[in-house]
Structure 1
Amino acid sequence: MAAQYSISGTTAKAIAASVERGVAEGALEPGTALPPVRALAERLRVSPGTVATAYKELRQRAIVVTRGRGGTVIAAAPAVASRRPPRVPDGLLDLAGGHPDPALLPRLAPPSQLSPGARSHRGSPRLTRLEEAVRDWLGPDGVPVEHVTFAHGALDMVGRLLSVELRPGDAVAMEDPGYHHLLDLVTALGLRTVPVAVDDQGIRPDSLRTALRAGVRAVVCSPRAQNPCGGGFSGDRRDALVDVLRETPDVLVVENDHASSVAGAPLHTLTAGGLNRWVHVRTVSKFLGTDLRWAAAACDPTTLARHDGRLLLTSGWVSHLLQETVYGLLTDEDTRALVARAQETYALRRNALRRELTGRGITARGVSGMNLWVPVRDESAIVNGLRSYGWWVAAGARFRTSAAPGVRISTAELPPAGAVRLASDFAAVLGESEATYGG
């Protein structure tokens, strides 16, 4: 708590550094309220303007957020220190992580032919054969594939694009509920999140139009396997969204197809709608392995130039060893068969739990991907209640901006027999919650 950590310093820079140090060391946890400006100024014997400047710097660096009358507090995901997810208590089945089933991933092996020597790949950063494999992968789904590039995962790609295209204070339209790491990333870049409501068909056109009229400069969305709600664009929804997006042609549209080959739903891509600024991003971590930090993207030529220009100045290129490994897996027939089996298995497991919950009168959303979103009134009561039955699920707070409460259940490793038991336990916990907390 703030009372247990003494903020020090007599300059704005020193005060900000003291707060940052407290966050990095874990003494100032997310949500901790910092002293009011005048109170801290009086204690440190500096002017209120000095403290206000320190707090402004911390806000710009996404270490703190200001909640109006609620004061200044440490951000939920401060852009400092190494944060790890909470440890799963012993004896619980982890349905919170959103990870694929290890039994449905291929065995990873480095390519037998390693890159020779220590030479620069800046002149040819992408393997031509992998570029062609990406075009063969994306093209049949309707994604324009004239311009493709690679990155170190989807978050790396999105973060680089937003940092090139936008400036601190600019607004980004984000799904609500949405992927918590993307929400944290936007905050860490000093950008403002404008929430866009989602349903079983993904982002809603009316909510998107409201966000665009509020002046957002980029839109980040999932065309299928939306995390955490499992929605996916239908053809009609895609067309309606494209019509809305054409009203603001300079807005960058980032389509994050993170589950792609195991999403369990067809792709209806916004990128086929003739937009000016767009990028379609795909990763392989959900079906080839979480250690393969690689993403492919197709995009318009301006976006390609800006992304690759920034990449050239930082890491330069994506490891050719990594590219060789991905190419080998993408083109291997046994791996393709395993991925097809994984898609069927994930759909079976997701649908089994959804059916069991629905049969007990419990609303569960999720028509694609590896997760279900279950609306509840009291997240903590449900999470703690299920814990007593041996289940570990994710509270929805970290996924939400202004959406109603819920919990996310990852179904990738939950067999149908387990779905029956979980649904029964969920119904029992829900009844206990209503009896104790009035719902």
Structure 2
Amino acid sequence: MATQYAISGTTAKGIAGSVERAVADGSLPPGSALPPVRRLAEDLGVSPGTVATAYKELRQRGIVLTRGRGGTVVAEAPSVGTSGSRRPPKTPEGVRSLAGGHPDPAFLPDLVPPSRVTPGPGSHRTSPRLPELEAVARRWFERDGVPAGHVTFAHGALDCVGRLLSAELRPGDAVAMEDPGFHRLLDLAPALGLRIVPVAVDEEGIRPEALRAALRAGARAVVCMPRSQSPLGACFSERRRAELLAVLTAAPEVLVIEDDYTADISGVPLHSLTTGGLPRWAQVRTVSKHLGSDLRWAALACDETSLARHDGLLLLTSGWVSHVLQETVLRLLTDPATAALVARAEAAYTARREALIGELGRRGITAHGRSGLNVWVPVRDESAVVNGLRSHGWWVAGGARFRTASAPGVRITTAALPVEEAARLAGDFAAVLGESESTYGG
């Protein structure tokens, strides 16, 4: 169905700007069809090539998608801050927030930067990584069997994944992503102009048959979480890892990216695809969940080609990760007291997650969360459950922003939920479901 919004402009940039403004203010909601190139060119009195260039720019920026004979439409999660974005809503006042996916502040160490910062030579481009931190990062990966022959740094997981995808793929290419999956990754791919192919997830991670279908659909990269999968809390089993490797071995040109963002607090062992001899692979690790969200630092282990492409793009942008930040991270990663605090955090997060799942189970409510900081509860009506729990003083995350084609649910962050409060939350959850069985479902 053609849109009623009047697109304006006499240049490609002007036409693209007109569309982007309409998407941003809601005049062109997700799914809206743009006029065919030749018709819009005739309406605006410009050449078809000018309109085609404008549409190409919009595709590259993830604002629109082209669906062959289906024409050009506004993307479901356009990257211009529209109502279709997957950004979480603001937490209402007066409620206990269990929606953010954040760690318990009680288990985060104090961030102590270097006591003295010596002015550098003006550029660290020739030595972007502190040798001591690089050695620690290698041991970090090797502890779990991840090959660490090629290691580099980035400004957090999303920065790293975005750079890997930008270096490997081109606008319009397809990337396989978990469904349900991490909402910021699901926003990142369209922003890069990439097409998401959803891959179904169960408690053991991405499902082999779904991955096989995604590769057949043309996916040139796969992004997944081997443990603490958000929002489901899934983790690869040894059997699932073998099944996925069997699928990926038949597609050696595909880049496999693992986001192991809770490597030290997941509560389960790692069964990584990176240890399976794949030619193109990468694993990203961050410290924001166990050392502090202000530490925007990530370590990347990957194949030689991915390293060269990642660092080539990094060199053209920020050049390197702050050495002051690197020194701060190094101190924490090598501090015995911090290591003991992180170990206590992992034990507490496991106990809290399992306590809520157990209490929900005792009330006949199915919940998922084998690892990490969150629990996923399937429901029939997400909004009704979120609002119902809000009336009891709890704020949880509706599952819509984590989903592409999967069934509805809500995500509950259990990291800061003491074991003794699990029963009360589970009781309130059961009460909400019982208010109207025809509306709410567990």
Q: Secondary structure at the match of 2:344?
A: helix
Correspondence for 2:194: 191
Q: Secondary structure at the match of 1:434?
A: coil
After TM superposition, the structure 1 = structure 2 runs for residues 65-214 of structure 1, keeping only pairs within 5 Å, are: 65=65, 72-73=73-74, 75-79=76-80, 85-214=88-217
Q: C-alpha distance in 2, partners of 1:265/1:283?
A: 17
After TM superposition, the structure 1 = structure 2 runs for residues 32-431 of structure 1, keeping only pairs within 5 Å, are: 34=32, 37=35, 45-46=43-44, 54-55=54-55, 57-65=57-65, 72-73=73-74, 75-79=76-80, 85-431=88-434
Q: Would the aligned equivalents of 1:10 and 1:45 in 2 still touch at CA under 8 Å?
A: no
After TM superposition, give the deviation of residue 33 of structure 1 in Å. Answer: 6.3
After TM superposition, give the deviation of residue 31 of structure 1 in Å. Answer: 3.7
Correspondence for 1:16: 16
Q: C-alpha distance in 2, partners of 1:400/1:224?
A: 18
Q: C-alpha distance in 2, partners of 1:157/1:208?
A: 23
* Overall identity of the aligned pairs, in %: 66
Equivalenced residue count is: 436
Q: Would the aligned equivalents of 1:154 and 1:281 in 2 still touch at CA under 8 Å?
A: yes
Residues 140-180 of structure 1: per-residue CA shift (max 9 Å, x gap): 21011111100001111110011011111111111111111
CA, structure 1 residues 66+425, in 2 after alignment: closer, same or farther (shift >3 Å)?
Answer: farther
Residues 265-322 of structure 1: per-residue CA shift (max 9 Å, x gap): 1111111111111111100000000010000011111111111111111111111001
Q: Would the aligned equivalents of 1:115 and 1:321 in 2 still touch at CA under 8 Å?
A: no
Q: Secondary structure at the match of 1:142?
A: coil
Q: C-alpha distance in 2, partners of 1:205/1:70?
A: 32
Q: Secondary structure at the match of 1:398?
A: helix
Residues 347-396 of structure 1: per-residue CA shift (max 9 Å, x gap): 11111111111111111011000011111111111111111111111111
Q: Secondary structure at the match of 1:144?
A: coil
CA, structure 1 residues 308+32, in 2 after alignment: closer, same or farther (shift >3 Å)?
Answer: closer
Residues 51-90 of structure 1: per-residue CA shift (max 9 Å, x gap): 6764554233212457897983464242469986422100
Amino acid at match of 2:343: A
Amino acid at match of 2:430: A
Amino acid at match of 1:203: I
- More deviation in 350-359 or 27-36? 27-36
Q: Would the aligned equivalents of 1:264 and 1:343 in 2 still touch at CA under 8 Å?
A: yes
Q: Secondary structure at the match of 1:260?
A: coil
TM-score by length of 2: 0.91
Q: Would the aligned equivalents of 1:62 and 1:75 in 2 still touch at CA under 8 Å?
A: no
Amino acid at match of 2:162: G
* Runs of at least 5 residues in structure 2 that lack an aligned partner in the other structure: none
Q: C-alpha distance in 1, partners of 2:97/2:31?
A: 31
Amino acid at match of 2:77: A
Root-mean-square deviation (Å): 2.9
Q: C-alpha distance in 1, partners of 2:397/2:172?
A: 30
CA, structure 1 residues 18+222, in 2 after alignment: closer, same or farther (shift >3 Å)?
Answer: same
CA, structure 1 residues 338+5, in 2 after alignment: closer, same or farther (shift >3 Å)?
Answer: farther
Q: Would the aligned equivalents of 1:5 and 1:28 in 2 still touch at CA under 8 Å?
A: no
Q: C-alpha distance in 2, partners of 1:175/1:438?
A: 23
CA, structure 1 residues 53+310, in 2 after alignment: closer, same or farther (shift >3 Å)?
Answer: closer
Q: Secondary structure at the match of 1:217?
A: strand
CA, structure 1 residues 64+431, in 2 after alignment: closer, same or farther (shift >3 Å)?
Answer: farther
Q: C-alpha distance in 1, partners of 2:66/2:398?
A: 23
After TM superposition, give the deviation of residue 190 of structure 1 in Å. Answer: 0.8
Q: Would the aligned equivalents of 1:163 and 1:189 in 2 still touch at CA under 8 Å?
A: yes
Q: Would the aligned equivalents of 1:382 and 1:433 in 2 still touch at CA under 8 Å?
A: no
Q: C-alpha distance in 2, partners of 1:172/1:427?
A: 38
Q: Would the aligned equivalents of 2:380 and 2:440 in 1 still touch at CA under 8 Å?
A: no
